Chain A
Amino acid sequence: MDTAWHVELDRVSVTYPNGTRALKDVSLRIDAGEMVSIVGLSGSGKSTLIRTINGLVRATDGTIAVGPHEVTSLHGRALRELRGHIGMIFQGFNLAERTDVYRNVLVGRFAHSPAWRNLLGIPSAQDRDVALAALESVGMLEKVWARGGALSGGQKQRVAIARALSQEPSIMLADEPVASLDPPTAHAVMSDLRRINQERGLTVMVNIHLMDLARQYTTRMIGLRAGEVVYDGPAKDATDADFEQIYGRPIQVRDQLGAAG
């Protein structure tokens, strides 16, 4: 089993070059092996928060500790190596659509493979095994030679999960992983994430704007509003009033996905 990592943010702020303050003085500790949802409306800073953890967005202030590493002090090769330990999936799946599923999953081995192997397109036997095992674990092994663009949305997200798993990560980040999926597929993907958390013991952080999915699939919920943490507690105990406070408005129908099927 991969060793899970904790995440600790200490007074983290992010100000974008255009002046937008996406995160304001956020301090959080997420223990190794937790399954956490980050809830908030679009523009609340969810995406920024999750991207500061693997350094895709740089914190302008504060420090972020991930396992044994200090993200804010890493650059170049050391940062890439850290990212190799952090899997990430995205709302738009982010597959290379003209490339087969196999190559897409091998992207997850980037941090573990020398550049000459990528240049020649010859993965090592170990990389191949890890990639195929990851595909098998999400039930997509038979699609290994299909082109990324030829898959359905749910299949794409499962390949993206396999790509992240082939990193053999210590943390799994998910940025609105089900926002582009239909309800049954959304539940399937959330179940996959929960399975990864329970079976592999990985720390999982999921950005999500739907309250019922947060309650059902995660154990802890962090509410973000205008770049500030406004809620932090057990997900299943979160009341409608808590959600109204996070959203800053009354609950609407579109804040829930509804049951599967």
Chain B
Amino acid sequence: MTAPAVAPRRELPPKPRNILRVALIVTVLVTLTVAACTPAIGGVEIDLASISKHWANGAKKLGQMMQPNFAFLPRTVAPMLETLQMAVVGAAIAAAISVPLTLWAAKPTNANSVTRGVVRTAVNVVRAVPDLVYASVLVAMVGVGVLPGLITLVLFDLGIIVKLVSEAIDSADHGYMEAGRAAGGSQFQINRVTALPQTLPLFANQWLYTLELNVRISAILGFVGAGGIGRILDERRNFYAYGDVSVIILEILVVVVLIEVLSNALRKRLA
């Protein structure tokens, strides 16, 4: 037996580099950033000095918030429940509507490019509008309360679910669909019997994710009058009751983290 030969040292082939392109990208990014904060040429004015100027005031407010007024807690329970109810009901309604819309928006489940295009365009438009804008407009339309908040959440959720799930369906392999077509099935039959159970985990994942987002969003929808804990948060802030404000913030924090932990645990079991 001979001693194992020492493997010859391999020269790594030179890694292709493009220093010029990297330099160009960095230059453009830096230039744009600097220009964007230069008031002389129309950029925003960022006055860092105001932090130190108002420091005393800020520290005072912070100090007040450091003493949460837990006596206020009972009064927050009902609005917090309202927020959670909005989140759950909104997510449930969105989940129900999302199924047909998503299947219409994905190519394998809807061969008709016209209806597919209509649904996709509509969803993209819905997604383009920020949630607080929906809430403000809807409050003006249907009045202050839970309803405008609920509609806002449903629209927001639909935008997320339909886009993400339909894209996932687009990129997956669908041999079972060819089998359904070969057996003489209509697109509806194929979607209902095979595509739906096949894509249900994708849906469930996004449904839970939107529930999580809903709790976070519905906490601030009250700022524009759309119900929930946000309304009382806005009210206490206007009264400069920072002890109450900090209780509400802590409460939102706890609830959001709890929902997130729960939803993560459920999503892990789905995978």
Kindly identify, within residues 105 to 119 of chain B, every residue whose CB is under 8 Å from any CB belonging to chain A.
none
Contact A80 B193 (CB under 8 A): no
- Residue ID in chain B nearest A173 by CB atoms: B182
The segment out of B40-48, B58-66, B156-164, B195-203 that lies at the interface is: B195-203
Given known contacts A98-B198, A99-B198, A115-B188, is B183 in contact with A90 (CB within 8 Å)?
no
Q: Which residues of A contact B190 (CB under 8 A)?
A: 110
**Across-interface contacts of B176 in A (CB, < 8 A):** 94-97, 104, 107
Give the contact-size bracket for chain B: 20 to 34
B188 touches A98 (CB 8 A): no
- Residue A5 CB within 8 A of the other chain: no
Is A119 part of the contact surface with B, judged by Cβ < 8 Å?
yes
What residue in chain A is nearest B181 (Cβ atoms)? A56
Which candidate, A28-36, A64-72, A81-89, A202-210, is the interface stretch facing chain B?
Answer: A81-89
Known A97-B198, A103-B197, A115-B189; judge A83-B181 contact (CB<8 A). yes
Contact call B182/A83, Cβ cutoff below 8 A: yes
Known: A92-B175, A93-B175, A98-B198. A118 touches B184 (CB 8 A): no
Nearest CB of chain A from residue B199's CB, rounded to whole Å = 9
| A119→B182 CA distance, assembly (Å) | 20
Residues of B within 8 A of A83 (CB): 181-184
Question: Using Cβ atoms and an 8 Å threshold, which residues of chain B touch A111?
Answer: 183-185
* A70 nearest CB across to chain B (Å): 16
Nearest opposing residue in chain A for B174, CB measure:
A94
Contact count A vs B, C-beta below 8 Å: 93
Which residues in A have their C-beta under 8 angstroms from that of B193?
A: 96, 99, 103, 106-107, 110, 118, 121
Are A84 and B184 CB-contacts (below 8 A) given A94-B175, A160-B179?
yes
- Residues of A close to B198: CB separation below 8 A: 96-99
Picked from A81, A103, A118, A163, the residue with its CB within 8 Å of the CB of B179 is A163
Please, how many angstroms separate the alpha-carbon atoms of A160 and B180 in the complex? 11
User: Is A170 positioned at the interface, with any CB of B under 8 Å from its CB?
Assistant: no
CB–CB B181/A94 < 8 A: no
Q: Kindly identify which residue among A90, A104, A118 contacts B188, using a CB–CB cutoff of 8 Å.
A: A118
Residues on A with C-beta less than 8 A from B183 are: 83-84, 87-88, 107-108, 110-111, 163-164, 167
| Residues of chain B whose beta carbon lies under 8 Å from any beta carbon of chain A | 175-176, 178-186, 188-190, 192-195, 197-198, 200-201
Residues of A that sit less than 8 Å from B by CB: 54, 56, 80-88, 90, 92-99, 103-104, 106-108, 110-111, 113, 115, 118-119, 121, 160, 163-164, 167, 173
Top 7 closest A-B pairs, CB basis? A111-B184, A110-B185, A84-B184, A83-B184, A94-B175, A94-B179, A96-B194
